[in-house]
Amino acid sequence: MKKRAVVDRKKCAYCGACVAVCNLDANELVETYLEIKENCTGCGACAKVCPLGALSIEEV
């Protein structure tokens, strides 16, 4: 199974920390929510820097 980041939109403050650390540009702030794109490999970098714990890595 493939791993990828999953965002809890209730916790996300749209700060952009996850966007800044993603080497694949798999995270994107769109209007008022964070979108995780299909090219996410589930490396976990974004989840590690999220100050509110809104991101997790899950098997999809």
| Residue with the larger pLDDT of the pair 56 and 32 | 56
Q: What is the pLDDT of residues 20-29, one digit of tens each?
A: 999 999 999 9
What is the distance between the alpha carbons of residues 9 and 6, in angstroms, rounded to a whole number? 9
Going by pLDDT thresholds of 50, 70 and 90, the confidence category of residue 8 is: very high
| High-pLDDT (> 90) share of the chain, % | 93
Confirm or reject CATH 3.30.70.20 for domain 3-59, answering yes or no: yes
- Res 1 pLDDT > 90: no
Q: Give me the residue label for tokens 């994107």.
A: 28
**DSSP-H helix ranges across 1-60:** 17-21, 45-49
- The 8-class DSSP code of residue 6 comes to E
- Res 60 pLDDT > 90: no
Cβ neighbors of 31 (< 8 A, separation 6 or more) are: none
Annotated domain spans of the chain: 3-59
Q: For the whole model, what pTM was predicted?
A: 0.90
